[in-house]
Amino acid sequence: MSIQTNFTSTMIENVYQEQIVEGSSALHRPRICFLIYTYNRADTLPQAVESVLNQTFRDFELVLINNGSTDNTSEVLKKYVNHPKVRCIQLEKNIGSMRGMNFALDQINGEWYGLIGDDDYLYETAFEEAMRVIDEIDPEINAIAANAVSTATGKLSGLGLHESQYLSLETAIKETSGDFFGLTKTQLLGKDRLNEKLYGDANTLWYKVYSKAKRYYIHKPLMVYNNLPGKTESSRIRTMDLNRRVDSYTALLKEKHYLQVIRDFVPDRFRKRCLRGMLFLKLAGNEQGFLSYRNLLTSNSPGFKEMITLQMISILPRSVLRLFLMSLNFIRIK
């Protein structure tokens, strides 16, 4: 990974300059470190950035990370290189979404952290209202969630909650869906990072973080979430290389905490994961991994349909399973 030097030198000068804090010379650690990680969104990025810079709560740092964009994102970021609240990081090559997000998390330099998409934007009081929860409700709260407005519907994008409340991991997983705004105490994240071998499944990390959290939900929108077409860095498609799926499901077996959480709270999702793991690892000839998923499934009271599917995956030859999935355009064989 290489970082373009014309951004880095200015970055260091701006962020790590000595500041006077309560009469002494010290490096300032902002209350909030906010991340915007971007790829080819030069058209929407300025609105996202300005929405952070215009916050009424001022004790924050904004970290902008350009993951090797091929449009004019670099030109957009140059506008902010000398901004005292902004740290700009330019990656010369795209390093992928999961690795890129881990790189972003490594840059956190604040008591709290949060992030938004490069085409989303915050209400100007988002930070202020989130931090007010600590002062007015409970100083021991270490994770804050709030709702957002969807650009597709004009309504709340986060579903399942109807009032401000403490939010357990179980409630979040069982009862909510959609997209929310959030700030989290950095100490909860610690050294935990995304498993880069997993295909776009950040929940393996977030479930680990929020299982340790005393989390509070604010029942009002503090962000606008853009869920129009083209939201993801590279639009997700149904077809995927078999090797990539195999790598992902092999890596998932090591995510014991995640598997336990979905087994306890959303058993249907757990069983589907196990069946897919069985399927893809059988196709790859990974007998040990196949048996691991089979054992996980059979120990979790599978239903009749799931047992039939299990038997089909177990009995049918790999060649037949492969042709079947290819006919559905579900996998791509190189």
178-199: burial string, b at 16+ Cβ within 10 Å, e else: bbbbbbbbbebbeeeebbeebb
* Cβ contacts of 172 within 8 Å, gap of 6 or more: 145, 210, 215
State the Cα–Cα distance between residues 321 and 316, nearest whole angstrom.
7
Tell me which residue of 86, 77, 88 sits closest to 52, measured CA to CA: 86
- pLDDT score at 201: 83
- Complete DSSP assignment for 52-102: HHT-S---EEEEEEEES-SSSHHHHHHTTTT-TTEEEEEESS---HHHHHH
For residue 145, the surrounding DSSP H or E stretch is strand 143-150
Domain limits, the chain:
5-225, 240-332
- pLDDT score at 27: 64
- pLDDT score at 233: 46
State the Cα–Cα distance between residues 100 and 108, nearest whole angstrom.
13
CATH class belonging to 5-225 = alpha beta
pLDDT, one tens digit per residue, over 10-65 is 343 333 332 222 322 346 899 999 999 999 999 999 999 999 999 999 999 999 99
- pLDDT score at 242: 81
Q: What is the DSSP letter of 285?
A: T
State the Cα–Cα distance between residues 141 and 115, nearest whole angstrom.
19
- pLDDT score at 255: 97
Give the Cβ contact number of residue 281 at 10 Å. Answer: 24
Q: Within the chain, which residues score under 70 in pLDDT?
A: 1-27, 228-240, 327-334
State the Cα–Cα distance between residues 165 and 184, nearest whole angstrom.
16
Instruction: Evaluate whether 91 touches 1 at the Cβ level (below 8 Å).
Output: yes
* Cβ contacts of 319 within 8 Å, gap of 6 or more: none
Q: Chain-centre distance of CA 214, in angstroms?
A: 19
Compute CA distances 269 → 99, 146, 200, 241, 300, whole Å: 25, 25, 16, 22, 12
Q: What is the DSSP letter of 287?
A: H
- pLDDT score at 230: 56
Query: Which of helix, strand or coil describes residue 291?
Result: helix
Give the Cβ contact number of residue 170 at 10 Å. Answer: 13
Query: What pTM did the predictor assign?
Result: 0.85
